[in-house]
Structures are given as C-alpha cells and as structure tokens.
Structure 1
C-alpha cells in the first residue's frame, strides 16, 4: 500500500536527498517504496539551533538525510548525545530510546522523540511556528 502525503502550497520535501517542491496549490503525492523523507517544516536549519536538544535533532537529521556521511555524523551524534544526557538528566528515558532508534537506523522516529524535548514541550516542529506531522512513509507504526 503506497503512502499518500500532501504538501502545502510552495512547501518542499527532501526525498532520499533530493529536494522537491510543490507549486502554488496543495499537492498529493504517493510513495510506492521505502524512502527517507522530511517535509520542509520538519527540517531544522543550522542557524535555528539554540539549545542542546536542537543540536541533537540536527545531527540525527544529517545522519538520516545524508547516509553517505553517516560515519562522521554518528561520531558527532555520540558526542552530542553524551552532552545532552548531562544537560537533560530528566530526559534519560527519551535519550535512551533515541539512542536505540538511531542504532536501529529508525532515524525518523528518533527525530520525532527529539522534537518532543524542544523547549515548549509537545511535538513542536524544528521551527516553532509550524506543526510537525508524522511521517508514515519511513515509519508506518504508531
């Protein structure tokens, strides 16, 4: 069963490293195979990093979007994860789960949990003005 997703007008999505944009109207798209993808509203830009949780999110995002650089980014991830554990001992369970998911190469789920840790709680998207929807193409389980 393919995954159907809708992009907002002028919204972009990264699918397996390629940036694809919608036109002036919302568009429906179907993915018929497994793919790594993030909608534009889920992408964190480096200049938006203002806390350790976003730093962790950013490095997981790099591992996910650019698998060819995974070795270097996984080293960065280990370092940033240790830093985050020190700064956020209250999030030990979430950080353990994020580590497990990254090791299992379930990066989208790890990103989703990491978003919950951002200041403001809930599941705020990388840019706080937009909401973050789930991504069943990569992660169909609830």
Structure 2
C-alpha cells in the first residue's frame, strides 16, 4: 500500500535527499516504494540545536537523509550517544531503544522516539500525528 503525502501550501519534504516543495495550494502525492523521507517540520536545522537531545536527533537525521556519509555520522552518533547517556541517566530505556533502532537502520522510528525526549515534546516540531499523511506512523 503506498504512503500518501498531503503537503500544505509552501510545505517541503525531503525524499532520498531531494527537497520537494508544494506550490501555493495543497497537494498530494504517493510513494509506491521504499524511500527515506522527512517532512519539513520534522527537519532539525543545526542552528536549532540547543540541548543534547536535539544534538542526538540531528546526527540521526544526518545518517537517515545522507546515507552516503553514514559511516562518519554513525561514529558521531556513538560519541553523542555516550554524551547523552551521561547527561540523561533518567532516559536509559529510551536511549537503549534509540540505539537499537539506529543499529537496525530504522532511523525514522529512532527520530520519532528521540523527538519525544525534547523538553515540551512539541517545542521544535509539529506533532507528527497531525501531519496530514494517511500513514504518519509508517516508516519509509
């Protein structure tokens, strides 16, 4: 079953590293095969990093969006994961789950779980449950 995206006016999505944007009106499209994707509102920009959890999210995002640089970014992930474990010993289970998801190359779900660790949870990104995709919990 394809994944349906509904983009709001001027909204962007990254699919396999390509940025695709909607025009003045909402539009929908379907992904019929496996693809790495992030909606614009799920993308963290480097200048938005203001806590260790966002630093972890950002490096997972890099692994996911730029698979050609995965080796280097996985090394960064391991370093940042150690730093996050030291800063957030209260989140051991969540961090273990994120690490397992990254090891399994399930980056979209790792990002989703990491996003829940942000203070205020919706601080950076809109709630993905309200993103207009017919299958927002589906992973690429």
Q: Kindly report structure 1 stretches of 4+ aligned residues shifted beyond 3 Å.
A: none
The equivalent residue for 1:47 is 47
CA contact (8 A) 2:108 2:139 kept: no
Alignment: residue pair count: 134
- Match status 1:110 vs 2:110: yes
Q: For 2:28, what is the secondary structure of its paired residue?
A: strand
Unaligned segments of structure 2, at least 5 residues: 130-135
TM-score by length of 1: 0.90
Please say if 1:136 is aligned against 2:130: no
Q: For residue 68 of structure 2, what is the aligned residue in structure 1? A: 68
CA-based RMSD of the aligned residues comes to 1.2
Q: Which runs of 5+ in 1 are unaligned?
A: none
Q: Indicate if the aligned counterparts of 1:10 and 1:24 stay in contact, CA closer than 8 A.
A: yes
Query: Structure 2 length as normaliser, TM-score?
Result: 0.91
Match of 2:99 in 1: 99
Task: Give the distance between the partners of 1:76 and 1:89, measured in 2 at CA.
Answer: 20
